[in-house]
Amino acid sequence: MGYIGTQPVPKATHYLEYGVFDTPTQVINVGSGYTVNNISVVINGVTLNPDEYTATDGVTVDLGVEFDAGTSYRIEEYRTFVNAYHYTKEEADARFAKLSGANNFTQMPTVGGTPIVESGSNSDGEWTRWADGTQECRIVKDSSAFADATNKRFSVKADVTYPMPFNSVPTGRTGSVTGLTAFSYEFLCLSYIPEGFAGSTTMYASMTNGADLPSAGSVRFSGLFAGKWK
């Protein structure tokens, strides 16, 4: 609808309660109540002055005298207009996820209170966990714990603690070992031993090199473990 001049802005809603008395009536009950000193009372088309009725309890209007059945009445009240609560396009774009295009969430969405994805790192390694209970840990550990120099075969081990606890023994493997260039080896076997649910394990590298146990050096293990955190 077009307007000439400034478009009017609605400021109030007009409330009406009206009808015809079925029986002789002096007091009108206003079903939804009213604000005192904010109503107009109309009887048979004539607006009453405020001193011609009593309306002080917010519920009833006492006309002072009894009107006959068949009398028409109307109670009018102008109530405060409630603005529709809505967002501008810019506000909506900033507030709601988009079905297409990039979304940048300031907080991780949750499933039952658990973030869909959490990740981090600490002194024991890196980790990622998902709301479905899956967890992955990545560990790098240096070790110089050479042992078992028998039959030209020796091993080195690294005791590690997972950067985040699993709730059951994870599956995993010692992904790689570096630092062996200081001494040659002919065969390398990588393994790990899960030690309970507590969150620790031992990674082993067993080697044969036709020589004696290295007297010095350090080996860097890397391990990848996957399991459940809940």
Partner 1 sequence: MLATGIAPDYYEINGEVVTAFINGTAYDFDLSSATEGATLDSIEPIDGVTPIRHAVRESGELKVVLAQKVGAGHWIESDYFDAATYDPSGVHVIFDETKSFAGTPMVYTKNGWLTLSQDQLTG
Rule CB under 8 A: which residues touch partner 1?
Answer: 107-108, 115, 117-124, 127-128, 161-165, 196-200
Give the nearest distance from C-beta 129 to partner 1 in angstroms. Answer: 9
Amino acid at residue number 150: T
Are 170 and 195 a contacting pair, CB within 8 Å? Answer: no
Closer CB to partner 1, residue 77 or residue 223? 223
Give the nearest distance from C-beta 197 to partner 1 in angstroms. Answer: 6
Closer CB to partner 1, residue 164 or residue 180? 164
Closer CB to partner 1, residue 44 or residue 110? 110
Round to whole Å and give the CA distance between 152 and 119: 43
Does an H or E element contain 41, and which?
A: strand 39-43
Give the nearest distance from C-beta 90 to partner 1 in angstroms. Answer: 23
Give the nearest distance from C-beta 127 to partner 1 in angstroms. Answer: 7
Short-list 164, 145, 154, 147, CA closest to 207: 154
Are 124 and 177 a contacting pair, CB within 8 Å? Answer: no
Closer CB to partner 1, residue 80 or residue 119? 119
Round to whole Å and give the CA distance between 70 and 24: 8
Round to whole Å and give the CA distance between 179 and 143: 10
